[in-house]
Structure 1
Amino acid sequence: MRNHATTPTPRRAPGRAPRPPAVRAAAAASAGVVGLALTACSSPAAATPGIDDETVTVGTHQPLTGPAAAGFASISAATSAYFEHVNANGGINGRTIEYVVKDDGYNPATTQTVVRELVQEDEVFAMLNGLGTPTHSSVLDYLDQNGVPDLFVASGSTTWNQPEEYPNTFGFNVDYVVEGAALGQYAADQDPGAVVCVLGQDDDFGETFLQGVELALGADGVATYQTYSTSNEDVTAQIGAMRKAGCEINLLATINGFTAMSLGTAAKMGWFPQWYASSSGGDYPTLVEFLGEDVGPKLLDGFVSANYLPNSPGSDWYELFQQINDEHNAGAPFDGNTVYGMSVGYLFAEALAKAGEDPTRESLVEAVESGELAGNGILPLSFGPDDHAAYDGVGIAVVSGGVQDFVDATYRVDGDTVEAVEPEPVPLEDDGVPTSD
C-alpha cells in the first residue's frame, strides 16, 4: 500500500501536452480498433477510476503543515495504519486499499490544487475524509461536477448534509449543531443556574455550534459569544470579555490548539471556570501536549467534551486500534486522533465491502445511503437517501484523574428537540475487517 504523505507540487494543467497533427491523425485512424479491443477485455472495475482487480485508490487533503497541523496531522497516518491492517488480512473483496495523502496546509487555495491532482493525476476512486470546513468547502463543487464520491468529510459543518445539491457528499463528524445542543443541555442538567458563554471559530464552526447551544438553552441562554480567527494566535481579549461577563461554564467551538490556548490564557489571568469543548478540540492527550505535562493535567481535570466514537479505554475497538497503532503506525502516540482516523478507515472499508465485488462510484454512494452500514460509534449511523450526516447524537466525556472517559450522559438531537438517550455502541466483529456477507 502506498502512503503518500506529500507536500503540494506546482499545479499542472490536466491532460497531456498537444500531439503533432500526424500523431493525432494516426491515433484517430486506430481509435476504433483500440476501442473495440478495450471494450472486449475490460471489466467493470477497470472502467472506474482508481480501481482495478487488485487495488482501490482513495485520496485525501490534510493539514500536515500549517495552523491546524499540530492538532490534526496524525489523523491520516492512523487511517493509513488501519488500511495496512485490512490489507494484511486480505483486503476488501480481494483488493488492497491505497490511501494517497496530500498536504494542503489548511489553506483553501492549496486544497484546490492538491484535490485536482488527486482527481486528475492520481485518478482516485473517492475522496475520503478531506479535513476542514473552509478547505473542503473550496472543492465541494469541483468534486460534485466530476462525480467523485466525497465521503466522510472531517468537519461537523451542516454543509455536507445537502443530498439534493451534493448527492455524493457525506459528513463524518457529528454536526456542530448537535454538539452545541448536547453540551448546552449537559450544562443545564449539571448546573441549571450557571452563566454560560461560548467561544467559537469565526466561521461555520462557531456559528452552527452556537445555534445548537441556543437550541438547548434558548436565545437568551448565552451571556456572551466571542469569536477567534485561526490566523491570530491570541485570545486574550476574548477570554477577558468572557471573564468580565461572569461566565461560569464556557462552551468551546475550537480546534485543539485554541482550546489549549483558551485554558492557558484564562489560567494566566487567575481565572478557572468550567470548560466544555466540541470533539474537534477536546482530545485530552493532544491538549496535554499543548499545555505541557506540568500544568496540563491540572488545568484539564474536570474538562468536559463531546464524542461519538469508541474513545474509551474499556472498549474492544479502543484496544484493537491500540494494537493496530503499535503494529502499523511506527509507535505513534495513541490518542483521540488515532481512534478518529481508524474509525474513518473502518467505515470506508465497510462501505466498500457493501458496494459489491466490482464496485463503482455509484454503488459506493448507494452503499452509504442504504442505511445498512453500522460504523463503530456509540450510537447508530443516521445515513440514508435523505440524510448525509453520520451521527445525530453524542456522548459526554469527562477528564478525571488523567483519564478521559464517557459518563452516563448521551444526547440525541431530533429536529428542535434535545433528548437524553441510552448509548448503543457497535460491537467489534471479525477483527475489525468488514466483509461483504
Structure 2
Amino acid sequence: MPRSLRGGERSSTLFGSDGDRCNQRKKTIGRKFRQEEQPNMSNRRVFMAATAALAFAVSASQALAQKKYDTGASDTEIKIGQTVPFSGAYSVYANIGKTQAAYFKMINDQGGINGRKINLIQYDDAYSPPKTVEQVRKLVEGDEVLFTFQLIGTAANAAVQKYLNGKKVPQLLASTGAARFNDPQNYPWTIAYNPNYVSEGRIYAKYILANHPNAKIGVLYQNDDMGRDYLAGLKSGLGDKAAGMIVGEVSYEVTDPTVDSQVVKLKSMGVDLFYDASTPKFAAQAIKKLADLGWTPVHILDINASPISATLKPAGLEISKGIISTQYGKEPSDPQWKDDPGVKAFFAFMDKYFPEGDKLNTVNTYAYSVAELLVQVLKQCGDDLTRENVMKQVANIKDFTPSFALPGIKINTGPNDYRVNKQMQMMKFNGERWELFGPIIEDNGPSG
C-alpha cells in the first residue's frame, strides 16, 4: 500500500485530473509561500540570537566594569597599610592608630564597605623615618596592601613619598600639613589630611589684615618645613603689605633648649603682634617668657601648639588668656557640643570599641574624623578598587562633613588641589577653654 500511494501521487502529478491539478496548485502555492516565509523567519532567529549575544556581552562587560581590583582588594576585603609610633618619644600618637583600628572594627561589624571588610595592617615605626621606610616596604611588597593610610608625621611621610609614588601606591590622608604633600603634579599619589601650613598662615593673615591692619608683626618659627611653611603662608596672605608689617623673623632649632632669647629679641624690635609658629614645648616656653617680660602683644599661636593639655596647661592657664588660634574641629570637652549628634555617636563608639581610650582627647577625635573620610572615599570607589580610582575618588570629595567638623566647614578636594581642610574659624582662649569667634575663613590662595 505505501508503494501504490506513492505511485498514485506520482500519477496524479503526471496525468493531472482537475482535482489533482487543483491540489497541485495548492501545494505549489503552499511551497512558494513557505519558501518566501523562510528567509523572514530565519532573519528573526538570527536577530534574536544576535540580540541575546549582545545582551550577554553587555552584561558581562558591565560585570567586569563594576568589579576592578588592584593588589590588596578583592570581593571580600580591602587591605590597608599603616605605620604608627606605638613606641618611642612620640607614642602619644599611638592613639591615632588605636582609634582607627577600633573604628574599622565597627565598620566591619556593620557589614563593611560595599560588602567588603577592611583589613588594616599596622606596624610600629617608633616615629623614626628609617623605620618608616622599612615598614612601608614591608606593607607594599610583603603584605601587598592596596594603599597606605595616615602615616604620621612630616619626616616619616617625606621618607617614603618618592618610593610610594614610584610604585604608584596611594599615600592617603597623611598626618602632616607640610605644603610638599600637596603637589599633585609631581606627587600625584600623595594626599595629606591636616590643614596645609601655608593655608593656615594665609588664614591668619586674613584675620590680621581685617583686625590689626597696622600691626608690627614678629615671627617665631621652627626652622623646618613646618615653620617655614607657616611663615610663607603669612607672607603670601599679607601680599605686598608683608614687607612693611613684618618687622622681625626669628627661628629656633628643635635641639635648642629654650626660645627665651628669641622672644627677647622680638620684643626689642618693637613687635606688637607675636606670630608663634612652633610646637607645644617651645610655645609653652614662649608664653612663660612673655609673662616674665610683662609683654602683652596680640598673640597668635598655630593650631599644632593650641592643645590645652600639651601647651597651655604647662605654660599656665591664667597667663595664656587672650591667645588667638584657629580650629576646624569641635572640642569634645566643650559643653556647647554635649548634645551634638556626631559627638554623641563618637562617645558611644568609644564606649563600645575603645573603652580604654580617652573620649576627651582630641588626638582620638582627629583619628575618628580621618577614618570617616576614608570610609567615604571607599564608598565612592564602589566596585572599582584600583589604585588609580582610589586617588580619583579622594581627589573628588564634595561637601563632606566629618562628625567633628565645625558648623559650616565642609571638605572639598579636586584633581589640581589636594588640600582636604581649607576652612577654619578663629578662636580665643578664655583661661579655661577656647572660644570660637568670627566667620568661617577659607583659604582660596595657591595650594602650595
Rounded Cα–Cα distance in structure 1 between residues aligned with 2:284 and 2:351: 27
* Range with greater deviation from structure 2 (278-287 or 125-134): 278-287
- Which residue pairs with 1:35 in the alignment? none
Q: 1:247 aligns to what SS in structure 2? A: coil
- Which residue pairs with 2:70 in the alignment? 48
Q: Which amino acid aligns with 1:197?
A: G
- For residue 157 of structure 1, the aligned residue among 162, 168, 178 is 178
- For residue 163 of structure 2, the aligned residue among 142, 156, 162 is 142
Q: 2:242 aligns to what SS in structure 1? A: coil
- Which residue pairs with 2:394 in the alignment? 368
- For residue 342 of structure 2, the aligned residue among 317, 330, 342 is 317
- Which residue pairs with 1:386 in the alignment? 416
Q: Structure 1-normalised TM-score?
A: 0.76
- Which residue pairs with 1:330 in the alignment? 355
CA RMSD of aligned residues (A): 2.9
Q: 1:124 aligns to what SS in structure 2? A: coil
Alpha carbons of 1:246 and 1:167: their partners in 2 closer, same or farther (altered >3 Å)? same
Q: Which amino acid aligns with 2:434?
A: Q
Alpha carbons of 1:373 and 1:410: their partners in 2 closer, same or farther (altered >3 Å)? closer
Return the structure number with greater helix share. 2
- Which residue pairs with 2:439 in the alignment? 409
- For residue 344 of structure 1, the aligned residue among 370, 390, 393 is 370
Give unpaired runs (5+ residues) of structure 1: 1-41, 418-437
Rounded Cα–Cα distance in structure 1 between residues aligned with 2:319 and 2:173: 33
- Which residue pairs with 1:399 in the alignment? 429
Q: Which amino acid aligns with 1:286?
A: A
Alpha carbons of 1:398 and 1:325: their partners in 2 closer, same or farther (altered >3 Å)? farther
Alpha carbons of 1:186 and 1:59: their partners in 2 closer, same or farther (altered >3 Å)? same
Is 1:190 aligned to 2:200, yes or no?
A: no
Does the aligned pair in 2 maintain the 1:171–1:389 contact within 8 Å? yes
- Which residue pairs with 2:319 in the alignment? 299
Is 1:279 aligned to 2:279, yes or no?
A: no
Rounded Cα–Cα distance in structure 2 between residues aligned with 1:103 and 1:252: 32
Q: 1:305 aligns to what SS in structure 2? A: strand
Q: Which amino acid aligns with 2:343?
A: Y
Q: Which amino acid aligns with 1:303?
A: I
* Range with greater deviation from structure 2 (356-365 or 368-377): 368-377
- Which residue pairs with 2:285 in the alignment? 261
Q: Which amino acid aligns with 2:410?
A: P
- Which residue pairs with 1:243 in the alignment? 267
* Range with greater deviation from structure 2 (317-326 or 165-174): 317-326
Does the aligned pair in 1 maintain the 2:318–2:431 contact within 8 Å? no
- For residue 254 of structure 2, the aligned residue among 230, 236, 261 is 230
Q: Find the structure with the greater CA-based Rg.
A: 2
Rounded Cα–Cα distance in structure 1 between residues aligned with 2:237 and 2:353: 42
Q: 1:275 aligns to what SS in structure 2? A: strand
* Range with greater deviation from structure 2 (266-275 or 324-333): 266-275
Q: Which amino acid aligns with 2:83?
A: H
Rounded Cα–Cα distance in structure 1 between residues aligned with 2:290 and 2:88: 25
Q: CA deviation at 1:227?
A: 1.9
Count of aligned residue pairs for this structure pair? 371
Q: Which deviations, in whole Å up to 9, do the C-alpha atoms of 1:387-422 show, x marking residues without a partner?
A: 1111323211222252224222321222379xxxxx
Rounded Cα–Cα distance in structure 2 between residues aligned with 1:223 and 1:65: 42
- For residue 213 of structure 1, the aligned residue among 223, 234, 242 is 234
Q: CA deviation at 1:107?
A: 2.9
Alpha carbons of 1:247 and 1:359: their partners in 2 closer, same or farther (altered >3 Å)? same
Give unpaired runs (5+ residues) of structure 2: 1-63
- Which residue pairs with 1:10 in the alignment? none
Q: 1:159 aligns to what SS in structure 2? A: helix
